[in-house]
Amino acid sequence: MNTTSKQSRRDFIALSGSALAGSFFLHPVAQALSIFDKPGQKMKLAMVGTGVRGLAMWGRDVIRAYKDQVEFVGLSDKNEGRMKYGKTFMGVDCPLFLSADQMIKETKPDVLIVTTMDSTHHEFIVKGLLAGMNVISEKPMTTDEVKVKAILDAERKSGKKLIVTFNYRYSPHRQKLYELLRAGEIGTITSVDFHWYLDTSHGADYFRRWHGRKEFGGTLLVHKSTHHFDLLNWWLDSDPEEVFAYGSLEFYGKNGPFRSKTCRGCPHASKCDFHWDITRNEHLTKLYVENEQYDGYYRDGCVFREEIDIYDKMAVQIKYKNNVQVSYSLTTYSPYEGYRIAFNGTKGRLEAWIKESQPWDE
């Protein structure tokens, strides 16, 4: 899902809901195309952040879906090797830039796509807006309130648009929940119980990567829960008024029984439940392992590294402007992955238990 910070949620829902029968939403690139004002020309895209997300969802998939309407004019990343591999992966023939400033100046894109690490989004969003282009940024928009303010100021000053992408709203069962709530099936919603479980495979993976440090991803309450909070705002059609949260690190990081720097070469590999051999995945090896010499980033970091400082269990209480009370939690070492949600209303209760994955075969 995408929302624009220039459009109210109600306006956006009215617009997208009436336009789309089977789905509520426009792809962010389609949304950018809808405000593209150069008839007969392809929309010029440039992307900063040629990691796993950028290359597949914003690179390869966008080229496949919109090849007649868009063209990539530049790619930028601080890791030269990853950027070169990305160009081949995407099958494009555009110039590469270590400096996003230079890319923006030389290629003058219509839209800048930002798919870098979360804590750096604001830097590129602000640069793009102030250089006069619309920007599409991966979630989360950014990681703290100072950066939020810088982005909103740049949007106001430039008159350009930022589209932040929230793909969780696209899934059919979440859209069905939305439809049932809007249809008034349970009357007025009064409270919500929402509990999300990350398992010891996908959940653990956050602790292997840059996400394990507050300074890079703002903790999973920002990096991951941003999806869940976006769903809540949309389902409830309101905004939070009061929020408080608890978080603690009790399983990963310093809590582990032993540790190493990376899974590769780990002396505890044979007894570690979290040992993971990245070299068995060719794409991830080409993307990260073969480019470690450029930035020293290890994609298979030990989940028990001392430096991990994010929370692995989190609980949040939210009071919405429309008086709905929400109890939310996020657990990162569950045996299976998915979520339980219950909406309590004046005419009934709507419940869902969605099991998304598990680390073992059925």
Ligand X SMILES: NC(=O)c1ccc[n+]([C@@H]2O[C@H](COP(=O)([O-])OP(=O)(O)OC[C@H]3O[C@@H](n4cnc5c(N)ncnc54)[C@H](O)[C@@H]3O)[C@@H](O)[C@H]2O)c1
Residues near ligand X (CB under 6 A) are 48-54, 77-79, 82, 115-118, 120, 138-139, 167, 223
* Closer residue to ligand X (CB): 83 or 272: 83
Contact partners, residue 39, CB within 8 Å, separation at least 6: none
Q: Determine the number of helices (DSSP H) and then strands (DSSP E) in the chain.
A: 15, 13
Q: How far is the CB of 319 from ligand X (least distance, A)?
A: 27
Say which DSSP state 343 is in: E
Residues 320, 160 contacting (CB under 8 angstroms): no
309's CB contacts (< 8 A; 6+ apart) are: 212, 213, 214, 249, 253
Residue closer to ligand X (CB basis): 223 or 350: 223
The CB-of-158 to ligand X minimum distance in angstroms stands at 21
* In the complex, minimum distance from the CB of residue 361 to ligand X, in angstroms, rounded to a whole number: 24
Describe the crossing of helices 145-158 and 121-130 by its angle, rounded to 10 degrees: 10
CB of 84 to ligand X, least distance (A): 12
Tokens of 322: 């429309």
**274 versus 298: smaller Cβ distance to ligand X:** 298
Residues written for the chain? 362
Closest approach, Cβ 218 to ligand X, in A, equals 10
Output 178 or 298, the one with its CB closest to ligand X: 298
Q: Which is nearer to ligand X, 167 or 344 (CB)?
A: 167
Q: What does DSSP say about strands 348-357 and 96-97: parallel, antiparallel, or unpaired?
A: unpaired
Tokens found for residue 55 = 């290359």
Residue 118 or residue 337: which is nearer to ligand X going by CB? Answer: 118
**CB nearer ligand X, residue 121 or residue 161:** 121
Residue 62, amino acid: V
Q: Which residue has the tokens 């195309």?
A: 33
CA distances to 120, 286, 290 from 282, rounded to whole Å, are 27, 6, 10
**Residue number with the shortest CB distance to ligand X?**
51
Give me the least distance between CB of 283 and ligand X, in Å please.
11
Q: CB of 193 within 8 A of CB of 185? A: no
Query: Whole-number minimum distance, CB 38 to ligand X, in Å?
Result: 28
Residue 168 or 336: the one with the smaller Cβ distance to ligand X is: 168
First-to-last alpha carbon distance for the chain, in angstroms, is 31
Shortest Å, Cβ 53 to ligand X: 3
Is the Cβ–Cβ distance between 260 and 302 less than 8 Å? Answer: yes
| E strand map for 146-227 | 162-165, 189-199
Q: Which is nearer to ligand X, 52 or 154 (CB)?
A: 52
Nearest Cα neighbor of 52 from 298, 287, 302 is: 287
| Residue in 324, 314, 293 with CA at minimum distance from that of residue 245 | 314
Smallest gap from residue 60 Cβ to ligand X (A): 13
Question: Taking the CB of residue 306, how many other CB atoms lie within 10 A of it?
Answer: 10
